[in-house]
A = this chain, B = another copy of it.
Amino acid sequence: MLFAEKFQLRIPGPTPIPPSVQRAMNQPMIGHRSQEASQLVRECSDRLKPIFGTNQQPLILSSSGTSALEAGVVNTLAPGEEAIVVVTGVFGDRFSKILQRYGMIVHRLDIPWGQACDPETLKTFLQQHPQTKAVFMTYCETSTGVLNPVDKLTKVVREHSDALIIVDGVSCIGAVDSQMDDWGIDILVTGSQKALMLPPGLAFVAVSERAWKTIEQNPTPRFYLDLVSYRNQLEKHTTPFTPALSLLFGLKEVLNLLELEGLEQIYRRHELLKNMTRAGIQALGLKLMTSDQDASPTVTSIDCKDTDWQAEDLRKALRKQNVIVAGGQQHLKGQIFRIGHMGYCDPLDILTTLSALEIALKQLQIPVDLGTGVKAAQEVWMDHV
């Protein structure tokens, strides 16, 4: 099948791997306690700092993003301690599930899915729960395409509480600005398979000085996810357990690519990709799930619940053209579809996706003028240039 490996992977992770990153992962295997491995681990950690916006040393875990969320829980809290979780979708809900599993007392601040959390809302909620030891929030909520205003939310927490702030940055770190230290985030986690353009299998965790004090005292048992052991071993330029070396080979090249393009330009590119996607979707008469203000630069959700066609049928029609978009999760299944545009994605990919979308809509007998979505996106792009 000639085109079996030629497809547009437009889901919010895993994302496509750049060719040079793929090649880098083909280096022959090395010992994980070798000098080469030590250099690699230390260098990758150092070069991740600006992406997190921190002077702390990001820790490298060989596991998926969820394990890093769990690390944020089991390292900071003991059973019976209180936590606020800002739930704006599936991944806020996951924080809540992990906390409950470990016996923490969870105060859920449920925000309607598709909206970001307003800082005033969090402030009021925080005042209602003065015993809160930690506040968990999601920077980009992958399931809805919302980018929470983490800078403002963090400010509110810091002004009204001593609670630690733990942020899930899995589906946006590396694509949107992050100033962990300046904003006062205590733990920021991300994964390899989103804006960092690697296969899944690595997670990264940065920890504030303040959080280390809590972590060192915290009695909740943990071994593979014990951040103290990662910190101690990183000081010796290594990891406590055998790391996913082929992904680290790739990470080094990813860092080359990010530094070459420059973080500011990368953030602008993702803004552009978002704006092009949103303009195209609207020009086609489809409904965006999020407001302009709440929209994430990494993933766009399209609301199909009031349409007389099925989101899943549209996804299938796109799949036949080798364009892969994501469906909804949990209660949004069949209600929305999502276009991922983070990492190795350029404006032409958006035009390609929109043009395929137009054909798919036509095939489903949905009234649409061919070229309309593409044109709107092209105009955004040309204005940007």
- Copies of this polypeptide in the complex: 2
- Check A30–B17 contact: CB distance below 8 A: no
Chain A window 237-266, contacts with chain B (Cβ cutoff 8 Å), 1 for yes, 0 for no: 000111111110000000000000000000
Q: Any chain B CB within 8 A of the CB of A103?
A: yes
Of B98, B223, B243, the contact of A70 (CB 8 Å cutoff): B223
- Check A29–B9 contact: CB distance below 8 A: yes
Max chain B C-beta neighbours (<10 A), residue from A29, A101, A244, A246: A29
Chain A window 206-238, contacts with chain B (Cβ cutoff 8 Å), 1 for yes, 0 for no: 000000000000000111110000000000000
Of B14, B22, B63, B225, the contact of A31 (CB 8 Å cutoff): B14
Q: Spot the interface stretch: A193-201, A272-280, A291-299, A359-367.
A: A193-201
Q: Any chain B CB within 8 A of the CB of A27?
A: yes
Closest Cβ–Cβ distance, residue A139 to chain B (whole Å) = 17
Of B25, B28, B66, B191, the contact of A16 (CB 8 Å cutoff): B28
- Please report the C-alpha to C-alpha distance between residue A10 and residue B207 in the assembled complex, in whole angstroms: 37
Residue of B nearest to A35 (CB): B319
- Check A246–B25 contact: CB distance below 8 A: yes
- Check B98–A223 contact: CB distance below 8 A: yes
- Check B26–A14 contact: CB distance below 8 A: no
Q: Any chain B CB within 8 A of the CB of A15?
A: yes
- Check A31–B326 contact: CB distance below 8 A: yes
Of B103, B200, B222, B242, the contact of A243 (CB 8 Å cutoff): B200
Residues of B within 8 A of A17 (CB): 28-29
Chain A window 5-34, contacts with chain B (Cβ cutoff 8 Å), 1 for yes, 0 for no: 101010101111100001001111111111
